[in-house]
């Protein structure tokens, strides 16, 4: 039987997170036994944590000084300016997104992983030696090149995909081992932390039709291979892959790119004419019929209509693109 102290400890409720909002010129202290800390719109403040916490998230803040012992999960800085964050214990990950002028003071023996995206002047300083170095921002160009031709130029489409380390579908050799490891964990983060340009209302059909369809982790965009195995479109279409890559390279990368100007989903003959017209100059071996490709992409269209709550007359080609709030 468990000792009384241990039994009581297991029955205790998890401490509620602490939230600070719209504070200015204040010394903010987090009480002991806090699970998480969330701060938003604080200016010229210090944020101090004397005991271990689960997670720390600071958004839309400036000129702040953060000091903590240890964070179990991560420290996340989003849209902040002028931040100094220092810790003396452990921290697994620090995410810096859309920030400027960030200094991270870490112990010399720390193994913390720092991920910087759309940020400038992010520096790491070791507390013992005061050695400093800049954190490189996420190399979007390299990741865009890696997933070509399935990703749209100038869009963070790599965020929709969880790469398999042994894949031959994309060229992971273009990506450094560090960013390859970060990318493999990226899909676990909320969209608001991945990128400030990422969609935030994917329940709307108007958003779903502009979402990339070839490389995806979102179940709405998965198709089924025989034996009921679900996967993304580019992985499922293993035969004639160079041809399907040519289809994607012809700028047919979203549901909207297959639709008519009036917003209707095409019939098989219309779909075939569109695709053949786009890849007319490709010499890649092609399938006898585009029925399989049409079936799979139409399945994604139907799933998008269902996920968004779009209504019509029962035929997927008449789903409306109007937002349903």
The predicted structure's pLDDT at residue 314:
40
Indicate whether 187 and 247 sit together in one domain.
yes
**How many Å apart are CA 207 and CA 111, to the nearest integer?**
39
In a domain, 9, yes or no: no
Q: Which of 134, 165, 192 is the last residue of a domain?
A: 134
| Number of domains, the chain | 2
Indicate whether 268 and 119 sit together in one domain.
no
Indicate whether 198 and 289 sit together in one domain.
yes
Indicate whether 152 and 119 sit together in one domain.
no
In a domain, 2, yes or no: no
In a domain, 11, yes or no: no
In a domain, 210, yes or no: yes
In a domain, 3, yes or no: no
Give the contacts of 123 (CB within 8 A, at least 6 positions apart).
102, 103, 104, 132, 133, 134, 135
Indicate whether 121 and 154 sit together in one domain.
no
Indicate whether 120 and 84 sit together in one domain.
yes
**How many Å apart are CA 273 and CA 132, to the nearest integer?**
58
Long-range contacts from 143-149, C-beta under 8 angstroms, 24+ separation:
143/175, 143/179, 143/183, 145/171, 145/174, 146/170, 146/171, 146/172, 146/174, 146/175, 147/215, 148/249, 149/245, 149/246, 149/248, 149/249
SS3 123: strand
Indicate whether 33 and 69 sit together in one domain.
yes
Indicate whether 130 and 148 sit together in one domain.
no
Indicate whether 110 and 159 sit together in one domain.
no
What's the half-sphere exposure (Cβ side, CA atoms, 13 Å) at 52? 9
The predicted structure's pLDDT at residue 112:
86
Indicate whether 156 and 267 sit together in one domain.
yes
- List of the chain residues with pLDDT < 70: 1-15, 136-141, 178, 187, 190-203, 227-228, 310-325
The predicted structure's pLDDT at residue 194:
58
The pTM for the full model equals: 0.56
Residue 73 near residue 90 (C-beta atoms within 8 A):
no
Q: Which domain holds residue 273?
A: 144-308
CA distances for 256 relative to 4, 219, 278, angstroms: 62, 18, 15
Task: Identify the CATH number of the domain in which residue 29 sits.
Answer: 2.160.20.70
In a domain, 323, yes or no: no
Indicate whether 166 and 89 sit together in one domain.
no
The predicted structure's pLDDT at residue 318:
44
In a domain, 316, yes or no: no
In a domain, 252, yes or no: yes
Indicate whether 156 and 265 sit together in one domain.
yes
């Amino acid at each position: 039987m468990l000792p009384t102290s241990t039994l009581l400890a297991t029955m205790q409720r998890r401490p509620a997170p602490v939230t600070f909002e719209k504070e200015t010129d204040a010394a903010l202290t987090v009480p002991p036994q806090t699970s998480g800390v969330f701060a938003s719109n604080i200016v010229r403040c210090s944020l101090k944590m004397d005991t271990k916490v689960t997670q720390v998230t600071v958004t839309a803040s400036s000129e702040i000084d953060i000091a903590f012992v240890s964070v179990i999960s991560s420290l996340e800085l989003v849209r902040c300016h002028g931040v100094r964050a220092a810790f003396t214990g452990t921290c697994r990950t620090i995410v810096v997104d859309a920030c400027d002028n960030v200094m991270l003071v870490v112990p010399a023996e720390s193994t913390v992983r720092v991920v910087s995206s759309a940020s400038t002047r992010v520096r790491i300083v070791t507390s013992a030696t005061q050695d400093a170095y800049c954190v490189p921002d996420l190399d979007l160009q390299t990741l865009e090149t890696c997933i070509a031709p399935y990703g749209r130029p100038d869009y963070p489409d790599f965020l929709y995909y969880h790469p398999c380390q042994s894949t031959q579908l994309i060229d992971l050799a273009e990506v450094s081992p560090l960013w390859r490891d970060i990318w493999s964990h990226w899909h676990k983060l909320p969209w608001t932390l991945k990128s400030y340009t990422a969609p935030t209302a994917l329940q709307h059909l108007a958003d779903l039709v502009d979402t990339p369809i070839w490389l995806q982790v979102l179940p709405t965009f998965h198709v089924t291979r025989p034996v009921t195995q679900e996967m993304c479109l580019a992985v499922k279409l293993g035969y004639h892959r160079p041809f399907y890559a040519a289809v994607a390279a012809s700028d047919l990368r979203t549901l909207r790119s297959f639709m008519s100007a009036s917003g209707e989903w095409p019939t098989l003959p219309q779909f075939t004419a569109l695709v053949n017209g786009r890849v007319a100059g490709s010499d890649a071996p092609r399938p006898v019929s585009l029925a399989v490709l049409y079936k799979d992409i139409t399945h994604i269209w139907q799933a998008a209509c269902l996920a968004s709550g779009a209504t019509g007359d029962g035929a997927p080609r008449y789903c409306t693109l109007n937002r349903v709030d």
